[in-house]
Amino acid sequence: MSRTRLFKHALIDLFLSYRAVKGWNEMIALVGKMSRPLAETVIVQEQLALALNRAGKGEEAEKVLLDLIERRGPSSETYGILGRVYKDRWEAAKKAGSTVLARGLLDKAITAYLKGFEADWRDAYPGVNAVTLMMLREPPDSRKDELVSIVAYAVKRRIASGKPDYWDYATLLELALIANDEAAAGDALGDALASVRFASRRSRRGRGRRTTTTGFSRHCGRPPTGSRIPVAVAKWRPEAKRPQRSNGC
């Protein structure tokens, strides 16, 4: 490997290391020191947008992502980050009492997540966040009921075709809560708990890492209002962490 390639790999490693310790300003500054070809790669631009958003520069993050989509085309990753940018701005506008702005930003977040799911039907995570935000809209988005079954099917195909993890079953649990399907929620809860316990056993044996976090989906993390699922299930928060994706959300 040439020195130039080694240097590029080292920069990317440093860039992602800053992300791991939430060094958002350091990430932003490092991009300015990269060569233009490296700085314009998809991974750097996506992570730059993530850092900008976390640093409170949501409008700049939006511009970076929209420019990236225009240059490179749609992807579930890029639209997933864009959805998170709009979602954070929606929450800020709602907290500030800016009702009209908040409604517009919520609709933008829904659209971004939906486009992310449509860009890659195998990636259910933008889909479940689109569904959750559709449910939180007033009035709820009428597309929610149809999309729930489509996203659930995508998750089930992922489970059937590979090695499912906690987050696959947690996604099914969230979708079941949204659909008020108590039987499906119970099944998904049992499978998720079993996968967490299996992962914990692997960790104790030194074959894996054990990290912790809480929440349902990677962006929304809340059970649906008025769910008929028992409170103990609706408030369930096991210790587990979805494998880190490039969007970090």
pLDDT average per 10 residues of sequence, the chain (249 residues) = 81 96 98 95 97 97 98 96 98 96 97 97 92 93 91 92 86 90 91 75 42 34 37 40 48
User: Domain limits at 29?
Assistant: 1-72
Domain-embedded: residue 233: no
Q: 26 lies in a domain?
A: yes
Q: Would you say residue 12 lies in a domain? A: yes
Residue 35 maps to a domain = yes
Report pLDDT for 199.
56
Give the predicted TM-score (pTM) of the model: 0.78
Does residue 123 sit within a domain? no
Q: Which helix (H) or strand (E) holds 39?
A: helix 36-39
- Whichever domain contains 33, its CATH number is 1.25.40
User: What's the number of domains the chain is made of?
Assistant: 1
Give the list of residues 6+ apart from residue 214 with CB closer than 8 angstroms, or none. 221, 237, 239
- Residue 189, classified by CB atoms within 10 Å of its CB into exposed (0-12), middle (13-18) or buried (19+), is buried
The C-alpha R_g of the chain, in whole angstroms, comes to 19
